[in-house]
Amino acid sequence: GEDVEQSLFLSVREGDSSVINCTYTDSSSTYLYWYKQEPGAGLQLLTYIFSNMDMKQDQRLTVLLNKKDKHLSLRIADTQTGDSAIYFCAERPPGSARQLTFGSGTQLTVLP
Amino acid sequence: NAGVTQTPKFRVLKTGQSMTLLCAQDMNHEYMYWYRQDPGMGLRLIHYSVGEGTTAKGEVPDGYNVSRLKKQNFLLGLESAAPSQTSVYFCASWSPTEAFFGQGTRLTVV
């Protein structure tokens, strides 16, 4: 079955770039997503990428997709304290009734 | 436009009690989902629905039941709560490309 893996923790200094990595196993996934969860809140969609794309940029966010290695990354430029949160990657396989398989989440801590 | 609303936000149950969590969406979405979130495990799918009157099992359905009598509402029931069901529960509904999540229900079973 599908399995999405992420490292659990990442700490960066304010103003530095953050890179959160994710690996997935279902090579037929059509969409890959990044969600942000702040304490006590639900999940907020940050961005998503179609499987036929290699890169997507949206302001401070850059998503890179390496389909050969089944590797997805999220780069946050100029990381701010407000970026401290848990970040989840998720894959959506085709024909899955839009079911998402989530990684365990990466807790990003931004240090002043 | 409220999006996805979950009630209640917090609940404490005793082992063996029953309860129903309500998810309501005002976006006319067909697809709705219930997830549970446990530390270090991400979100796991409990049940889902692809339209009014339909339900299907997800990854961890045991101990839960669901109903989708109206398109805008998706109910998650616990018939006999167990401590292993202590978790944060999230509901989501889908547009064609994006899932919208509720704020979550924090359930503690003692």
Percent of chain A with pLDDT over 70: 97
For residue range A29-75, list pLDDT tens digits in order.
788 999 999 988 889 999 999 988 999 999 999 999 999 999 999 99
The pLDDT value recorded for residue A74 is 98
CA distance B70 to B75: 10
pLDDT per residue rounded down to tens, chain B (110 residues): 579 999 999 999 999 999 999 999 999 999 999 999 998 788 999 999 999 999 999 999 999 999 999 999 999 999 999 999 999 999 999 988 788 999 999 999 99
Shortest distance, CA A35 to any CA of chain B (angstroms): 10
Tell me whether residues B58 and A44 touch, CB distance under 8 A.
no
CA atoms of A70 and B82, how far apart (whole Å): 38
Residue B34 has a pLDDT of 97
Look at residue A93 in the predicted model and tell me its pLDDT. Answer: 80
Name the token pair of B67: 């109903």
Does residue A2 have a pLDDT over 80? no
Structure tokens at B81: 């709560």
Subunit contact A48:B98, Cβ cutoff 8 A: yes
CB-closest option in A42, A48, A102 to B102: A42
Residues of A in contact with B93 (CB under 8 A): none
Which of the four pLDDT bands, split at 50, 70 and 90, describes residue A1?
Answer: very low
Cβ burial A50-69 (10 Å sphere, 16+ → b, else e): eeeeeebeeeeebbbbeeee
Write the CB contacts of A94 (distance below 8 Å, at least 6 apart in sequence): A28, A29, A30
| Residues of chain A positioned with their CB less than 8 A from the CB of B50 | 97
Pick the more confident residue, A24 or B82.
B82
Higher pLDDT, B27 or A1: B27
CA–CA separation, B6 and B75 (whole Å): 10
Is the minimum CB–CB distance between B61 and chain A shorter than 8 Å?
no
Cβ <8 Å between A4 and B42: yes
HSE value, Cβ hemisphere, 13 Å, CA-based, for A45: 18
- Residue A3 or residue A42, greater confidence: A42
